[in-house]
Structure 1
Amino acid sequence: MQLVEDFTNDFLNINTVIVALITTGLITVMTILTYFLEHRALRLRQPRVTLVAHGLEAASLVVSMLLLRQIFFTINSGSMLSWSYATAQLTVLLFSLYTMRNLAVEIINILMPILFYGQGMYFGRGAHFVATFITMTVLLSSAIIYFSRHRSSIMGSQWRYLALQLVYGGTWWFIIWSVHRFELAYTINVLIVFIVYMWIIRFCVQRISRLIDRFTQLDQKVNYDELTGVRNRASFDTVQAEVFKAYQDRPKLPVTMAMFDIDHFKRFNDQYGHMTGDAVLKHVAQHFEVALYKQTTHGQLFRYGGEEFVVIFRGTPADKARTTITAIRDDLQNEAVDFNGQKLRVTVSFGISQLQPNDVTFNDWFSRVDHYLYQSKEAGRNRITVEGNTLAVG
C-alpha cells in the first residue's frame, strides 16, 4: 500500500499535471523552432547557417531543461526530488534526440548523466555505485550513438522505438538509483509511465510535424522553381525588397547582384528539342547552386524567367563577386551537358553591379545590371561585364 501511495503522490497531483502541460508546451516550441531552423539551413545550404541552426537547437534544449527545473523548483517549494520531474526531464532529452539531427544535442544527452552523478557525488551520494553508473552510462551512450546512425529505421518501427525507450529510460533510472535508492517495483511503474508519456508525445509531435510539412511543401511550391529546383521569381521579388531596404540602411556594407542568361539557348530548343532545353536549364541551375554552396559564398540563386538567372551576393563587393562568378563559369564551360548521348557545351553571359548610394529604387540597380548583361551579349556573348567593364573570355 505504501508503494501505491508513493506512486499516487508523485504522479497523480496538480503539480504533476502542471509539469506535464509545461513539458508538452516546451516540446511543441522546440518542434516548431527545429523545423524552422532546419528548413532555413536547407534553403540557404551554407555551413555557417547550418552550424548556427544546430547551435540554436542545442541552446533550446538547454533552456528548456533549465526552465523545467526552475518551474518545478518553484511549485514544489524548493524540492527537486520527484519522479514526475525526472520523467519530464528525460522526456525532453529523448524528444530532442528524435527531432534534432544534431551532434551537439547528442553530446548533451551523453553528458547529462555525468553531470547528474557528479552533482550527486558533490552532495555525498553514490560513491558506492560507481561501477553501476559507469556501466549504465556506457549503455546509454551506445544507445544514443546507435540511434543517431539508424534514426530513420528506429522512428519507422514501433518495436525499435519501444526498445529505445526501454534502454534509454532503464539506464537512466539505474543512474538515478546510484544516487537515490528506491524499490524495484516502483522503478517499473515509473518506467511504464515514461514509455506511455513518450508515446503520447510522439503522437502529438507526428501531428505537428505533418502540419509543418504541409506548410513546407506549400512554401516549396510558391518559392521554388519546379523545373530547376532553385528559388523562383516570386522568391526573388521578396528577397530583393528585403535586401534593398537592409543595405540602404547600412550603406557601408556591400551587396552585389549578378544576372546571367544561357547563350544561344533558343538553338538548344530548336535543334535538339525542348526536353534538351530543359536539361540544359537544370544543368546550369544546379551547377551554380552547388558551386555557390561549395565556395561558402553569400550568394543566393534565383531563376528570374526563361533562361535568365540572378545571383544576389550579400556582404560581397563587385570585384569579389566577379572572381566567384568567373570560377563557376569556367567550370561550367569545361563540363559538357550529356543528354541522350550528345555532349553539349554551354556558355553564359553576365552583368554584375554593386548597389550604389545613389540607387533610389531597386529598379535603378536592377536596370543597370540588366544593361551590363546586354552589354556582354553585344560584345559576343560568353562575357562578364562588371560595372560597365566587359571582360574577354578567360
Structure 2
Amino acid sequence: MEDGTNLLVVAMSWAAQLTVAIFFIAGFVSFYTEVWNRAFSDSERSRTERIWLRIALIVLAIGLGSILHFAGYLGGSTSMMYHNIGLFILVFSLLDEEINFGEYLIRCVALITVWAMHHMGHFMVDRFAISMIILVIILVVVWRFRHTIESRFPLRLLVSSIVAIDFWFTLPTHSASMVMTPAVSIEAVLMFFVMKLSTGRQQNLWAHNEQVAHQANYDRLTNTKNFTAYQKEIFNAFGIARTGHQPLAIAMMDIDHFKLINDQYGHLAGNQVLTEVANALKRVLLQYSENYQLYRTGGEEFTLVFPDSSAQEILAILIHCWRTVRAAEYVYDKDTIKITVSFGLTELVDHDQSPDDVYKRADHSLYISKKNGRDTITVDGK
C-alpha cells in the first residue's frame, strides 16, 4: 500500500512538472517565433534592425537556456524539469530556419558547454566520450540536412528525441544536483518528448500562417512581391520619406514585345522569361541594398522601389539592370530568345500627396520609353 502511495505521489509530481514545462515552453516558442518573424519575415525592417533581432534570438535562446540550467542546481526535486526545459530551448534554437553557419555554430557551442557541465568531473569516462560523439554527429547531420528537417515536424521530433536520449541516458550518477537513475532518465526523456510534441501543432500553425501570408504577398510564378504587397509597403515608404525629408525613387519596368514572345514561343517560354528576368533584377538590386524592393505589378510589368535614394543615384543601378537583362541568354527548348526592357524612373517631390502621384510619373516615363522605340530608360520624361 505504501509503495502504491509513493508511486502515485511521484506520478503526480511528474505530471505537475510536465504541465509547468509545457506552459513555459508554449510561451517561449510563441515569443521566440514572434522575434524570428520580425528578424526574417518583416520586409519593412531595415538591415540593421534585422541584425539586432537575429542577435536577440541568440541571446534569448542561450541566455534563457543557461539560466534554467543554473536554476536546476538549486531546484531540488524540480532540478530535472529546469534542466530539461533549458535543454529543450537550446535544441529548439538549433532547428531555426534561415540562420547562417556562424549563428548555428554559436548555438552548438552553447549546447556543448551546457552538456559538458553536466559531466563535470567525469570527462575521462567512456560514456561522456560516447555522448559527445553522438551529439557532434547529430549537429553535423542537422546542419547538412537542415532544410529537410526544418520543414517536417516528424523529423524535428525525431532529432530532438535522439538528442534527449543521448543527453539523459549518458549522464553520470551525480550530475548538476541530480541523482540519476534509469527511472529519472526515462521520466526526463518522456517529458522532453511530450514538450516537443505539444509545440508541434503550434509551430505547424505558424508555418501555415506564414505560408498563407507569403502566398498573399508574393507572385507565385516569379516569387517576387506582388501588387498587393506593393500597395501595403509603398505607403510606409512614402510616409517615412515625407516625414523624414528623405528621397524616394520609383521605377517602372516593362519587358519589350512580351506578347510576341508568347505568340512565337508559347506561354511556357514567356513564363520562363518572366522568372529569369525577375531573378536577374533581384540579384542586381541585392548588390546595392537589401532595402531596394522589386514587385511584379502587372503581366510583364515590374515596379522597383528605392527608399532613401534619389533618381540620380538610382540611374546607374537601372543601367546595371538594363545591361544585365540584355546580356543574359534566355534559352527555351533550344531557342535563344533576345530580351530587352524599358524603364521609367522618377522620385518623390514636395507637391506629391500620395504614392500614386509618384507611381503615375514613373508610369508616364515608362510610356515615353516604349513610345520612343523601347529598350531605353526615361527619367522624368527625358
Q: TM-score, normalised by structure 1?
A: 0.78
Query: For the residues of structure 2 that align with 1:202 and 1:115, how far apart are their CA atoms?
Result: 20
For 2:305, the aligned partner's letter is I
For 1:334, the aligned partner's letter is A
In the alignment, what sits opposite 2:211? 217
In the alignment, what sits opposite 1:56? 56
SS of the residue aligned with 2:124? helix
Q: Which of 26, 29, 35 does residue 27 from structure 1 map onto?
A: 29
Pairs within 5 Å for 1:180-191: 180=177, 182=179, 184-185=180-181, 188-191=182-185
Is 1:88 matched up with 2:81?
Answer: no
In the alignment, what sits opposite 1:147? 142
SS of the residue aligned with 1:305? coil
Question: Deviation string for 1:60-100 (max 9, x for gaps)?
Answer: 31454377579x69xxxx94452221122112222222345
- Contact kept, 8 Å, 1:268 with 1:277, in 2: the verdict is yes
Q: Which of 325, 334, 337 does residue 330 from structure 2 map onto?
A: 337
- Contact kept, 8 Å, 2:81 with 2:188, in 1: the verdict is no
- Bigger drift between 202-211 and 15-24 goes to 15-24
For 1:342, the aligned partner's letter is D
SS of the residue aligned with 2:294? strand
The two structures, once aligned, show a CA RMSD in angstroms of 3.7
Distance change in 2, residues 1:189/1:35 (3 Å): farther
Q: What is the Cα deviation at residue 238 of structure 1?
A: 0.8
Q: What is the Cα deviation at residue 156 of structure 1?
A: 4.4
Question: Deviation string for 1:255-284 (max 9, x for gaps)?
Answer: 211111111222223333333333322222
Runs of 4+ in 1 over 6 A off after TM superposition: 43-50, 115-118
Query: For the residues of structure 2 that align with 1:249 and 1:156, how far apart are their CA atoms?
Result: 49
- Contact kept, 8 Å, 2:282 with 2:294, in 1: the verdict is yes
Q: Gaps spanning 5+ residues in structure 2: where?
A: none
In the alignment, what sits opposite 2:198? 204
- Contact kept, 8 Å, 1:336 with 1:345, in 2: the verdict is yes
SS of the residue aligned with 1:131? coil
For 2:317, the aligned partner's letter is T
Is 1:382 matched up with 2:375?
Answer: yes
Query: For the residues of structure 2 that align with 1:193 and 1:258, how far apart are their CA atoms?
Result: 61
Query: For the residues of structure 1 that align with 2:195 and 2:114, how far apart are their CA atoms?
Result: 26
For 1:325, the aligned partner's letter is L
Question: Deviation string for 1:135-194 (max 9, x for gaps)?
Answer: 4556544543333324436964576554332123345x44x9465473x42xx3332223
- Contact kept, 8 Å, 1:155 with 1:161, in 2: the verdict is no
Query: For the residues of structure 1 that align with 2:44 and 2:167, how far apart are their CA atoms?
Result: 35
For 1:380, the aligned partner's letter is G
Question: Deviation string for 1:85-130 (max 9, x for gaps)?
Answer: 1122112222222345534255234235536877x9xxxx95x545
SS of the residue aligned with 1:90? helix
In the alignment, what sits opposite 1:392? none
Distance change in 2, residues 1:177/1:44 (3 Å): farther
Is 1:277 matched up with 2:270?
Answer: yes
Query: For the residues of structure 1 that align with 2:281 and 2:57, how far apart are their CA atoms?
Result: 30
Distance change in 2, residues 1:160/1:349 (3 Å): closer
- Contact kept, 8 Å, 1:110 with 1:144, in 2: the verdict is no
Give the length in aligned residue pairs: 367
For 1:144, the aligned partner's letter is L
Q: What is the Cα deviation at residue 13 of structure 1?
A: 8.2
- Contact kept, 8 Å, 2:68 with 2:83, in 1: the verdict is no
Pairs within 5 Å for 1:125-140: 126=120, 128-132=121-125, 135=129, 140=135
Query: For the residues of structure 2 that align with 1:16 and 1:331, how far apart are their CA atoms?
Result: 58
In the alignment, what sits opposite 2:95? 98
In the alignment, what sits opposite 1:249? 243
- Contact kept, 8 Å, 2:252 with 2:363, in 1: the verdict is yes
- Contact kept, 8 Å, 1:297 with 1:313, in 2: the verdict is no
SS of the residue aligned with 2:215? helix
- Identity among equivalent positions (%) equals 22
Q: What is the Cα deviation at residue 378 of structure 1?
A: 2.9
Is 1:192 matched up with 2:191?
Answer: no
- Contact kept, 8 Å, 2:346 with 2:362, in 1: the verdict is yes
Question: Deviation string for 1:194-223 (max 9, x for gaps)?
Answer: 322222222222212221232223223321
Distance change in 2, residues 1:86/1:69 (3 Å): closer
Query: For the residues of structure 1 that align with 2:68 and 2:163, how far apart are their CA atoms?
Result: 23
Is 1:306 matched up with 2:299?
Answer: yes
Q: What is the Cα deviation at residue 348 of structure 1?
A: 0.7
Q: Which of 280, 288, 306 does residue 281 from structure 2 map onto?
A: 288
Query: For the residues of structure 1 that align with 2:317 and 2:247, how far apart are their CA atoms?
Result: 15
Distance change in 2, residues 1:324/1:116 (3 Å): same
Q: What is the Cα deviation at residue 285 of structure 1?
A: 1.9
- Contact kept, 8 Å, 1:23 with 1:68, in 2: the verdict is no
Query: For the residues of structure 1 that align with 2:204 and 2:15, how far apart are their CA atoms?
Result: 33
- Contact kept, 8 Å, 1:35 with 1:212, in 2: the verdict is no
- Contact kept, 8 Å, 1:31 with 1:205, in 2: the verdict is no
Distance change in 2, residues 1:363/1:150 (3 Å): closer
Query: For the residues of structure 2 that align with 1:355 and 1:228, how far apart are their CA atoms?
Result: 28
Query: For the residues of structure 1 that align with 2:12 and 2:304, how far apart are their CA atoms?
Result: 59
For 1:318, the aligned partner's letter is A
